Structure 1
Amino acid sequence: MDSLRVIQIFTDGSCLGNPGPGGWAYIIQDGQQRREGFGHCVETTNNRMEMMAAIEALKVLSACQSVVLHSDSQLLIKTMTLGWKRKKNQDLWAELDQLAGMHQISWTWVRGHNGHPENEACDTLAQRAASMAAFSRGAQIRK
């Protein structure tokens, strides 16, 4: 593992209603390279979308990376750092544990909607993805 190279990951999840249509997004900053990703789910919860953002970002990385993962989800950060009890979403926690075990990760909480550029950009992407899910759900209902 290259101890000098640290990859910065910023994640966010959004849900229109809880449960409801949701979206997730990430930004990966690796030196001068920046990658973005997002996706959606027609029926989900905000917590699932926060977790999916981290999962999908970690899937992009090759093994054994040094990572700082930033999220405005206290549930995500405190579960991964302080061992908060995992009451729901066992499927996603298991996947996140598996992916996190492949890397050296520092989990960092950032205050949401507080002007942090990457967090705001992830929020915008996640909201757009949630809107796409809402549109998809609406289209399915009309059929």
Structure 2
Amino acid sequence: MHTVHIYTDGAAKGNPGPGGYGVILEQVGTGYRKEFYEGFRLTTNNRMELLAVIVGLEKLRTPNTSVLVVSDSKYVIDSIAKGWVFGWEKKGFAGKKNPDLWKRFLRIYRQHKVDVKWIKGHNQHPQNERCDQLAVMASTQPVLNVDAFYEQQRGDKLI
């Protein structure tokens, strides 16, 4: 079984504002590489950072895959590496932001062997730079998706 590296980035202009994520999946030693991105009309950078990780994990087809998630998001990496998300889960995510995404993350996280690594953003890391390009491009598409949970939580009308 091959190890997969998942590189991620999220962006939001205005925070909240239009946002997007970018993901690169690379299967180590095989040359396999795939890119994904998606944009939303109103969201936050932290939601996009977390959604990028979720989407990367959800794209894996084989359970129990060994995965290294590489992100420049301290919010995401520290929440996982320092175990905060597991404490939040035990407390029903009371008072925590993005519970919808953290619950979704935990469902897919538990299907794989996941390690995480923080890298400094905008530091000439090729995959991180590409993910940033994808996230920004996604956030500027002429038609953007609705981040329904976020907009409903804010009390915004979805139409």
Deviations 1:47-75 (Å, cap 9, x if unpaired)? 00001101111111021100000000001
Secondary structure of the residue that 1:17 maps to in structure 2?
coil
TM-score by length of 1: 0.88
Secondary structure of the residue that 2:21 maps to in structure 1?
strand
Secondary structure of the residue that 1:36 maps to in structure 2?
strand
**Which structure 2 segments of 5+ residues have no match?**
89-95, 145-159
Secondary structure of the residue that 2:143 maps to in structure 1?
helix
The residue aligned with 1:123 is 132
Q: Percent identity?
A: 40
Number of aligned residue pairs:
132
Secondary structure of the residue that 1:61 maps to in structure 2?
coil
Secondary structure of the residue that 2:122 maps to in structure 1?
coil
The residue aligned with 1:136 is 143
Structure holding more helix per residue: 1
Q: Tell me how far apart the structure 1 counterparts of residues 143 and 64 of structure 2 sit (CA, whole Å).
A: 37
The residue aligned with 2:79 is 79
Deviations 1:53-107 (Å, cap 9, x if unpaired)? 0111111102110000000000100001102365200000000011010000111
Are 2:8 and 1:11 equivalent residues in the alignment?
A: yes
Q: Tell me how far apart the structure 2 counterparts of residues 84 and 40 of structure 1 sit (CA, whole Å).
A: 27
Aligned-residue CA RMSD (Å): 1.2
Q: Structure 1 segments of 4 or more deviating over 3 A?
A: none
**Which structure 1 segments of 5+ residues have no match?**
138-143
Q: Tell me how far apart the structure 2 counterparts of residues 105 and 84 of structure 1 sit (CA, whole Å).
A: 15
Aligned-residue offset at 1:122: 0.3
Secondary structure of the residue that 2:84 maps to in structure 1?
coil
TM-score by length of 2: 0.80
